[in-house]
Amino acid sequence: MSLRSRLTLGIAGLLTLAIAGAFFAAYVVVRNELHEELDSALRGRAASFVRFGRTTPRPPFGGVPRGTAPPLGGAAGYTQFVRADGTTVLPSGEHVRLPTTGAQAVATGARGPFFSTATVAGTHLRIYTTRLAGNNALQIARPLTEIDHSLRRIRELFGAIWLAVVLAAAAIGLFVSRAVLKPVRRLTEDAERIAATGDLRERTDQSRSDELGRLAVAFNTMLDALARSVSAQRQLVADASHELRTPLATARTNLEVIELHGEMDAAERSRILAEAIDELREMTQLIEELVDLARGDVHVLETQPVRLDLVAEEAVAAAARRHDRRFEVELEETVVEGSPAALGRAISNLLDNAAKWSPSGTAIDVTVADGAVAVRDRGPGIAEEDVPHLFDRFYRAADARTLPGSGLGLAIVRQIAEAHGGTVSVEPADGGGSVFTLRLPPVPAPAPAAAPEPVRA
C-alpha cells in the first residue's frame, strides 16, 4: 500500500470516527431526553392516583371508570393494581396484564418506585411502578411506539449523514494527501531523473521552509558531496594515469634501446638499465602511494594510545639511513590516540619532503611536544600561491617538477591527520625554509607506577 493510500485512509478513518462518536453522543442524549419526558408524564399520572387514594377510603379495585383507564396504547396510559399478596386488579373492560416483577415488593414497602421496559401484546411499553395506600402498588404503562419510531428515524438520518461524511472524508483525505505528498513526489521524480541521466549538476526545489524543504536541502547537499567525490575520483584517475605514463614510457624506451642495440658498451648498458630500474622503482612507489590513498578513504584505523615521540624517533632513524642527513631532534613525551603505522608513515613523508628540499650539509629540525610534530627544513621556502594546494593530490609546485616524487606524500599526510581528528599545516620558518606541523589531539599520559621502597638488609 502506498503512502498516499495510507494517508488517505488515515484521514478518512479519523473523520469517520469523529463523526460517528458525535452522532452516537447526540443519539444517546435525544433518547434520554425522550425517555425522561415520558417518565415525567408517568410520574404525573401516578401522582393523580395517589391523591385520589388519599381522598378515597380504598382504591377502586372493583371497577375503574372507563374514562380513567384508557385502553393499552392510549395517551393516558394503561393502569394495573397489584395487592401485597401478588394478585392484580385491572380496570373494567381490560384483560391484558402487565409484568408484575418487583411490584409486590413495592406494595409491601420493601422496594421504592421504579421504571421498567417490557413488550406486552406486541407493544413496547414503559412501565412505572409505585406504592399506594393500604399496601397496594400501582403500575402505569405507556407505549414507546412514538419514541421508538422517532429514534428509528433519527438512526436512519444519522446513518445517511454518516455515509455522506465517510465519502466526503475519503475525498478530503485524497485531496490532502495529494497536496501534502506533492513535494515528495517531485523530489522522487528528481531523484529518479538524476539517477537515470547521471547528471549530478541538477538540483531539486528547496524553497519550502518546512520539513520537506529541509529534506530537499539535505538531498541537494548530498548531490554536492557526491559530485565532488566523483570529480575527485575522476581527477585522481586522470592524474594517476598521467603520472604512471611517464616512468613507464621512460623504462620502456630504455629497454627498447638495449634490445635494438645488441652491440653496446657495458658501461652504457649499465647506465640505461640503472635508469630503467629507477623509473620502475619510482612507479612502484607511486602505485604504493595510490593504494594508500585509496585505502585511506574507506579504511577504518584501529587506534590505541601511542607515544608520538617514540614513533617520531623511529621515523627519524629510518630517514637518516635513507637520506644520509643530520636531524636535530627534540622530543617530549606525548601520548595520542591513533595508529602507530599510519602516524609513522605521515611523519616519514614529512621527513622525506624536508630531506628533498634541504640543501646538502644542513640540518633538519624535528620537534615533538603537546601532540604536535614539527619538521623544519632549510630549503628555499614555499611560494604563497602554492600553499593552498600543497596538500592536494598530485599537486607539484613549479620548482618541484624537476625533482623526483609523485605529489602524493603530503596528500597522504593530510589524509592521515584528518583520519585521526588532527590537522597538518605549513608556515615559513625564521631564517629561511618551511615548518610542517602535524597536530593531533593529545590524551593524558598514564601516571607512572610508584617506585618500590628499597629493601634494607
Q: Which of 245 and 9 is assigned the larger pLDDT? A: 9
Q: Please tell me the pTM assigned to this model.
A: 0.46
What's the grid cell of residue 445? Answer: 599520559
Burial-class residue 330 by CB neighbours within 10 Å (0-12, 13-18, 19+): exposed
Q: Which of 93-97, 99-103, 453-457 has the highest mean pLDDT?
A: 99-103
Q: What is the CA radius of gyration of the chain?
A: 51
Residue 69 pLDDT grade (very low, low, confident, very high; cuts 50, 70, 90): very low
Length of the chain counted residue by residue: 457
> What's the topology of domain 211-295?
Helix Hairpins (1.10.287)
- Taking residue 457's Cβ as centre, other Cβ atoms within 10 Å add up to 2
Average pLDDT over residues 272-276: 79
Where b means 16+ CB within 10 Å and e means fewer, 427-442 reads: eebeeebbbbbbbbeb
Instruction: Give the domain ranges of the chain.
Output: 3-151, 211-295, 300-439
State the alpha helices, DSSP H only, in 78-210.
Answer: 103-107, 145-197
What is the CATH code of the structural domain delimited by 300-439?
Answer: 3.30.565.10
Helix axes 409-419, 340-357, angle to 10 degrees: 150
Angstrom distance (rounded) from CA 212 to CA 190: 14
Burial 81-113 (b: 16+ CB within 10 A, else e): bbbbeeebbbbeebeeebbbebbbbbbeeeeee
| pLDDT for 244 beyond 70 | no
| CATH architecture label of 3-151 | 2-Layer Sandwich (3.30)
